[in-house]
Chain A
Amino acid sequence: MSADDQTLMKLAARGDETAFGDLVGRYQNRLFTVAHRLLGNRADAEDAVQRAFLNCYLKSGSYDARWQVSTWLYRVLTNVCVDELRRRKGAKPSVEVSDAGRPPERTGQHLDLRRALEKVPTEARLLLALRYVDGLSYGELARIRGISINTVKSQLARGKAILRKALG
């Protein structure tokens, strides 16, 4: 699959909109889920995914073929999402964003988890999202965020410890 991704990326870099559309179709659900869980509402998540793909499309010439396309896309998406979270911290902290489109929570536990996740620092929350949405390896997570594998492990452990404490 990885070779196919790279072919699509090369075609997209030459302005092939169909290839680009195929690439979007292949990754949009996973990227949208990561963005939605991090940003908390569908509108911001959709905008973040659009901006991430747009960056990839406009700057596809700078794509390094040694990277897996998925890792590259997640790097770009997390850069966009992290900056959006920074802006919110500065502008209007602790605003609960309503989300009419969100599927109903199945149990109270899931609601508790959402609240508990808000107590997890941004970097750890980001790694948890990538790990659980797409099952990315520690190595891939380290590459996406430009950190060591040991830091990935300690951040994930820290994030889960905060969740366990918050959930009792």
Chain B
Amino acid sequence: MDRVDDLLAAHFSVEAAPEGLASQIVRRARDADREVRRLVDEIEITATDRGVCLIRAERLAPPASAKARHLAEQARVELREYLEGKRTFFTVPVDLSGAPPFQREVLAAARSIPYGEVRAYAWIAERIRHPRAVRAVGTALGRNPVPLIVPCHRVLRSDGGVGGYLFGTEYKDRLLALERTTPVLQGCTTTRIVCRVGCVHGRHMRPANRVVFASLEDACSVGYRPCKVCRPAAAA
């Protein structure tokens, strides 16, 4: 025992948790049923041969070809995983060729916002070099043809307000809460491989083998190596 040990022992001495913690947790558990995962059963998805082109909570024309049907089904599977907190990125392609050029730029900027983070409408406007077009950015996002996959829900008002959302602001709140509580990087204790949450390699990972990391650097510092499939370094 030296001076650092003594200081650490004093610093980490056990303190009392707030009162009523157990009852608050039980209350949260009861509320957990009212989750966003049901959204996936309420939406229609259509696609072209190039990718998903429209997601709406209304009846849509079915995909025209077998390839488009396959892409729409892949999108539904990935969306279900996303809404269950088992996926933090999408691999299904999107087809935004039907959108005007300005909207495509806005949507591309929205896609660059990392999972679990938020940006302001003004940030998008700056990023696409139209700093005064904040209102037009809001309109373009409001008409986002592929919500969820293009994460327009990660864009908020500069004053911190939630702003609008295609499926309603309550869903926007819930999606943001879901992303706040879903980890992005997870390692498997048996393979010592670190993946992005949603990677095919992590799908069969048992809960007891799952550890979360704050960064790829942290994971590598304790002997984990990055997955070659989902390539977490590229995502970071």
Residues of A within 8 A of B (CB): 17, 20-21, 24-25, 28-33, 36-37, 42, 46, 49-51, 53-54, 57-59, 62, 64, 67, 72, 75, 78-80, 82-83, 85-87, 89-91, 103, 106, 109-110, 113-114, 117, 121-123, 128-129, 132-133, 145-148, 151, 155, 160, 163-164, 167
Contacts and interface: CB of A to CB of B under 8 A. Distances in A.
Given A54-B25, A146-B187, A106 B10 contact: yes
29 contacts: A20-B22, A21-B22, A21-B26, A25-B22, A29-B17, A31-B17, A32-B15, A33-B15, A37-B11, A50-B25, A53-B21, A53-B25, A54-B32, A75-B208, A75-B211, A82-B212, A82-B213, A83-B184, A85-B214, A86-B213, A86-B214, A113-B7, A117-B11, A123-B221, A132-B11, A146-B209, A147-B223, A160-B4, A167-B4
Contact of A133 (B14, B207, B209, B212): B14
Interface in B174-224: 180-185, 187-189, 192, 206-215, 218, 221-223
A121 B221 contact: yes
B112 interface: no
Given A50-B24, A53-B25, A86-B185, A113 B114 contact: no
Interface residues of B, number: 51
B26 A89 contact: no
B229 interface: no
Given A33-B12, A49-B17, A87-B180, 20 more contacts: A28-B21, A31-B17, A46-B17, A54-B28, A62-B207, A64-B206, A64-B208, A75-B208, A78-B211, A86-B185, A91-B117, A110-B7, A110-B11, A113-B8, A128-B8, A146-B192, A160-B4, A160-B5, A160-B8, A167-B3
Contact of A36 (B8, B15, B29, B184): B15
Chain B CB within 10 Å, residue with most, of A29, A83, A114: A83
A117 to B, nearest CB: 8
B18 interface: yes
Contacts of A51: 181
Contacts of B215: 86, 89, 122
A101 B214 CA distance: 26
B9 interface: yes
Chain A CB within 10 Å, residue with most, of B18, B29, B222: B222
B164 interface: no
Contacts of A89: 214-215
A51 B9 CA distance: 26
Contact of A122 (B17, B24, B189, B218): B218
A21 B23 contact: yes
A20 B26 contact: yes
B29 A164 contact: no
Chain A CB within 10 Å, residue with most, of B3, B12, B24, B208: B12
A80 B3 CA distance: 31
B116 interface: yes
B27 to A, nearest CB: 10
B190 to A, nearest CB: 8
A106 B7 CA distance: 11
Given A21-B22, A46-B18, A146-B209, A90 B12 contact: no
B15 A87 contact: no
B234 interface: no
Given A46-B18, A54-B28, A87-B116, A164 B222 contact: no
